[in-house]
Amino acid sequence: MTKKEKVFLDKWEFWSRTMTIIQFLVVVGVGTYLTVAQMNYSKNNLYEENMLKFDDKLSNGTNLNITFAIEDKKVLLKSHGGSFDEDDLEGFLGVYDQLYDVYKMGLINKKLIYDDFSYDLLLAYNNQEIKEYLAQIRKEGSDFYIGFDQLAELFSK
């Protein structure tokens, strides 16, 4: 083998290895990008599924009627002349309490909660009758529906 052929083969081996490394890096880079994109897509779908579940809980039946009563500044509890019993109000507060737990677990994001629920949540949080009810039941256990408060405080600033 001549010196010229040897130099050619050395260069060929160098470029062959270099191209193999570049191909590997491109494949790994594209694979990583696609994996991250798929994970973000899945995460957004999870957020949307959770939002729909909570929207369904708050937009139907008694919870929706409580929301309308709060918006209309009506009395809530039957014991005060309203239309709802304590179980109804506790169910309503419990949905927001659960929503905060789901938010804390990272299964829903703050922007989606703000966009869909903050208006009604803050009306409920600032409702005097609800404040008094929570103060009364928290004499028995100070953490009752604390997630309701914590969720509202995310948006009351």
Helix (H) or strand (E) holding 116: helix 110-125
Q: How wide is the angle at C-alpha 47 spanned by C-alphas 44 and 49, nearest 5°?
A: 110
pLDDT band at 135 (very low <50, low <70, confident <90, very high): very high
- Say what the pTM is: 0.74
pLDDT of residue 43: 67
Q: Which two tokens stand for residue 157?
A: 């600033």
- Selected residue with higher pLDDT from 22 and 125: 125
Torsion of CA 68, 69, 72, 76, to 10 degrees: -160
11-65 pLDDT per residue, tens:
788 888 888 888 888 888 887 877 777 776 666 677 788 888 999 999 999 999 9
Q: Using CA atoms, how far apart are residues 139 and 145, in angstroms rounded to an integer?
A: 12
pLDDT of residue 41: 62
pLDDT band at 77 (very low <50, low <70, confident <90, very high): very high
pLDDT band at 140 (very low <50, low <70, confident <90, very high): confident
Q: DSSP assignment, residue 109?
A: -
Residue appearing with tokens 């309701």: 148
Instruction: Give the residue from 84, 54, 91 showing the smallest Cα distance to 69.
Output: 84
109 backbone dihedrals φ, ψ, rounded to 5°: -105, 165
